[in-house]
């Protein structure tokens, strides 16, 4: 978010006639992000020493390859302020999409966490106490109660087994995701996951098409733009698709025609690319595709959360009801036998 504000203000100041050096000096003192402020000040120092703005940005990891490319295109075309404004708009769109996704999944995540906390308390605190009480009463326990108590005792003594198993599973997935040989397998699996696979795919399509649109609009050469889009897609399956588009474009082929034969790209993307190429408005068509996927993503998440919320509540209620039934059934039996 700090970068969005920085680039937006920088564009406005350059457009108003303030020199690049003075603009950077002012903005480095205004930003509350200390790391970004340090990066801006270092960029300003190198610009003052004769380096181009994009060249100075390359020296700091805070500025991605995409940011550098869009700024460089603006420098070459003599429209630095407009290019920086486009960059700010692009980053703002990406940040907005990220915030919408986080906002949508927060409630289900909290409910799931709450369910596990309740389950842990019931199994490790409540159930063992009632188990001791029933042993003192010498009451014959129903099968359900015995099963619940056995599970409670096992969890109380061997809780580390499921915990370690989950940790190992996560570490294996992370390792496979970072390993070049196994990453394609994980990336394909992500896109095929029930419920969330389509959400992941729509998010990738929205981000990659927005990236390609912004780069083309900024004047970045199409081959370079396709390379960078493949990098930011964050999925090897989609990256391979953009690599095929790059090879076709390098040979003079049509992006739209090539996309039709690449499974990862929906027919709509191929059609919009074709229209964009024929009308000379490729960046506009890609932006429309990104808008559509962002809208679809938002609606998909809303539908999923509306389904998950009652299911999670039923799940939590079911656990509590099961434990309550296991506890109170023998109590009622004991009272009846005493009467």
- In percent, the amount of the chain with pLDDT more than 90 equals 11
CA–CA separation, 193 and 201 (whole Å):
10
Identical fold at 2-92 and 93-339? Answer: yes
* pLDDT 10s digits, 146-199: 888 888 888 878 888 988 999 999 999 999 988 888 888 998 998 888 878 888
| Cβ-based neighbour number of residue 225 at 10 Å | 29
Cβ atoms of 230 and 246 closer than 8 Å: yes
In this predicted structure, the answer to whether residue 331 has a pLDDT above a threshold of 70 is yes
Structure tokens at 140: 């014959």
- In percent, the amount of the chain with pLDDT more than 70 equals 97
At 338 the pLDDT is 65
Long-range pairs, 282-289, Cβ under 8 A, ≥24: 282/213, 282/216, 282/255, 283/213, 283/214, 283/216, 283/217, 284/213, 286/209, 286/210, 286/212, 286/213, 286/216, 287/209, 287/210, 287/213, 287/217, 289/205, 289/209, 289/213
Residue with the larger pLDDT of the pair 290 and 124: 290
In this predicted structure, the answer to whether residue 113 has a pLDDT above a threshold of 70 is yes
At 271 the pLDDT is 92
Nearest to 130 by CA among 143, 149, 157: 149
CA–CA separation, 290 and 93 (whole Å):
10
Q: Is the pTM of this model over 0.85?
A: no
At 177 the pLDDT is 86
In this predicted structure, the answer to whether residue 35 has a pLDDT above a threshold of 70 is yes
CA–CA separation, 297 and 188 (whole Å):
19
CA–CA separation, 158 and 154 (whole Å):
6
The domain defined by 93-339 carries CATH number 3.30.1300.30: no
pLDDT (mean) for 209-231: 86
- Identify which of 83-87, 145-149, 270-274 has the greatest average pLDDT: 270-274
CA–CA separation, 336 and 31 (whole Å):
73
In this predicted structure, the answer to whether residue 228 has a pLDDT above a threshold of 80 is yes
From the centroid of its chain, how far is CA 16? 36
Residue with the larger pLDDT of the pair 111 and 200: 200
CA–CA separation, 274 and 259 (whole Å):
9
Q: How confident is the model at residue 81 (pLDDT cuts 50, 70, 90)?
A: confident
Structure tokens at 268: 């709509």
Structure tokens at 78: 């003599």
- Identify which of 57-66, 84-93, 277-286 has the greatest average pLDDT: 277-286
Q: Tell me how long the chain is.
A: 339
CA–CA separation, 301 and 307 (whole Å):
10
Cβ atoms of 297 and 227 closer than 8 Å: no
Q: How confident is the model at residue 339 (pLDDT cuts 50, 70, 90)?
A: low
Q: What is the dihedral of CA 316, 318, 324, 325, to 10 degrees?
A: -170
Residue with the larger pLDDT of the pair 112 and 173: 173
- Identify which of 80-94, 134-148, 159-173, 304-318 has the greatest average pLDDT: 159-173
CATH of segment(s) 2-92: 1.20.81.30
- For the chain, what are the domain ranges? 2-92, 93-339
CA–CA separation, 80 and 5 (whole Å):
16
């Amino acid at each position: 978010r700090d970068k969005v504000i920085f680039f937006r203000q920088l564009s406005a100041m350059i457009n108003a006639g303030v020199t690049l050096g003075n603009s950077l000096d002012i903005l480095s003192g205004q930003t509350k992000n200390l790391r970004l402020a340090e990066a801006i000040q270092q960029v300003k120092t190198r610009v003052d020493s004769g380096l181009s703005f994009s060249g100075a940005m390359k020296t700091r990891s805070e500025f991605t390859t995409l940011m550098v490319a869009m700024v460089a295109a603006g420098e070459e075309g003599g429209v630095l302020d407009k290019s920086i404004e486009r960059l700010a708009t692009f980053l703002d769109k990406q940040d907005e999409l990220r915030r919408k996704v986080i906002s949508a999944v927060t409630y289900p995540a909290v409910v799931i966490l709450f369910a596990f906390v309740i389950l842990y308390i019931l199994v490790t605190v409540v159930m063992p106490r009632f188990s001791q009480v029933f042993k003192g009463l010498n009451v014959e326990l129903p099968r359900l109660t015995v099963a619940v108590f056995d599970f409670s005792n096992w969890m109380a003594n061997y809780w580390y087994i499921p915990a370690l198993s989950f940790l190992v599973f996560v570490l294996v997935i992370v390792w496979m995701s970072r390993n070049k040989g196994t990453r394609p397998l994980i990336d394909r699996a992500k896109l095929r996951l029930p419920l969330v696979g389509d959400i992941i795919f729509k998010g990738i399509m929205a981000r990659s098409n927005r990236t390609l649109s912004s780069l083309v609009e900024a004047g970045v050469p199409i081959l370079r733009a396709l390379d960078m889009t493949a990098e930011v897609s964050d999925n090897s399956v989609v990256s391979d698709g953009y690599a095929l588009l790059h090879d076709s474009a390098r040979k003079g082929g049509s992006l739209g025609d090539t996309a039709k034969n690449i499974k990862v790209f929906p027919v709509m993307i191929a059609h919009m690319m074709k229209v964009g190429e024929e009308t000379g408005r490729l960046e506009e068509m890609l932006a429309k595709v990104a808008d559509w996927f962002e809208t679809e993503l938002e609606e998909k998440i809303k539908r999923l959360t509306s389904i998950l919320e009652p299911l999670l509540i039923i799940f939590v209620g079911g656990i509590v009801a099961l434990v309550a039934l296991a506890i109170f059934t023998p109590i009622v039996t004991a009272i009846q036998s005493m009467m």
